[in-house]
Amino acid sequence: MASTKPRAEFPRAVVRTVAKRSAYRCSFPDCDRTTTGPGASEDQIATTGKAAHIYGARDGGPRGSGGLSFEERQGTANAIWLCAEHAERIDKNNGSEFPAATLKAYKRMHEEKIRCEAGGIGLKAGWIHSLSIDHAPIFRTPAEIQFGKVTVLHGDNGSGKTALCDWLQGMSDPSALSRWADAKKAGNLSFEGSSPKSVIAVEAL
Ligand SMILES: [Zn+2]
Write out pLDDT tens, residues 51-88. Answer: 999 999 988 888 988 899 999 999 999 999 999 999 99
Close Cβ partners of 127 (under 8 Å, ≥ 6 residues apart): 29, 30, 109, 195, 196
Distance (angstroms) between ligand 1 centre and the Cα of 146 equals: 22
106 exposure class (CB count in 10 Å sphere: 0-12, 13-18, 19+): buried
Residue 1 lies in a domain: no
Stretch 24-34: mean pLDDT: 95
Distance (angstroms) between ligand 1 centre and the Cα of 166 equals: 29
Residue 85 lies in a domain: yes
Distance (angstroms) between ligand 1 centre and the Cα of 69 equals: 28
Domain count, the chain: 2
Mean pLDDT, the chain, integer: 86
Q: Check residue 100 and give its pLDDT.
A: 95
| Choice among 42-46, 63-67, 122-126 with the minimum mean pLDDT | 122-126
Distance (angstroms) between ligand 1 centre and the Cα of 35 equals: 9
- What tens digit of pLDDT does each residue of 166-198 get? 887 777 677 778 888 888 777 788 888 777 666
Residue 4 lies in a domain: no
Distance (angstroms) between ligand 1 centre and the Cα of 73 equals: 22
In a shared domain, residues 106 and 166: no
Q: Check residue 5 and give its pLDDT.
A: 76
Residue 66 lies in a domain: yes
Which range marks the domain in which residue 45 is found?
Answer: 12-118
In a shared domain, residues 23 and 96: yes
Q: What one-character DSSP code corresponds to residue 35?
A: -
Domain stops at, among 118, 141, 174: 118
Q: Which residues of 45-56 are buried (b: 16+ CB within 10 A; e: fewer)?
A: eeeebbbbbbbb
State what percent of residues in the chain have pLDDT above 90: 46
pLDDT at 22 over 90: yes
Residue 55 lies in a domain: yes
Domain stops at, among 71, 87, 118: 118
Torsion angle defined by CA atoms of residues 56, 57, 58 and 59, in that order, rounded to the nearest 10 degrees: 40
Q: Quick one: which of 176, 166, 183 has its CA closest to 131?
A: 166
Distance (angstroms) between ligand 1 centre and the Cα of 12 equals: 21
Q: 131 and 167 in contact (C-beta within 8 Å)?
A: yes
Q: Check residue 108 and give its pLDDT.
A: 94
In a shared domain, residues 23 and 107: yes
In a shared domain, residues 135 and 89: no
Supply the pTM of this predicted model: 0.66
pLDDT at 42 over 90: yes
Distance (angstroms) between ligand 1 centre and the Cα of 90 equals: 10
Distance (angstroms) between ligand 1 centre and the Cα of 160 equals: 34
In a shared domain, residues 63 and 160: no
In a shared domain, residues 105 and 21: yes
| Choice among 2-16, 40-54, 75-89 with the minimum mean pLDDT | 2-16
Phi and psi at residue 198, to the nearest 5°: -160, 165
In a shared domain, residues 173 and 97: no
Stretch 139-157: mean pLDDT: 79
In a shared domain, residues 93 and 137: no
In a shared domain, residues 89 and 134: no
How far apart (Å, rounded) are the C-alpha atoms in residues 94 and 80? 17
**Nearby residues for ligand 1 (ion, Cβ within 5 Å):** 26, 28, 31, 33, 83, 86
Residues β-bridged to residue 25: 34
Bond prior to 137 in cis (omega within 30° of 0): no
pLDDT at 124 over 80: no
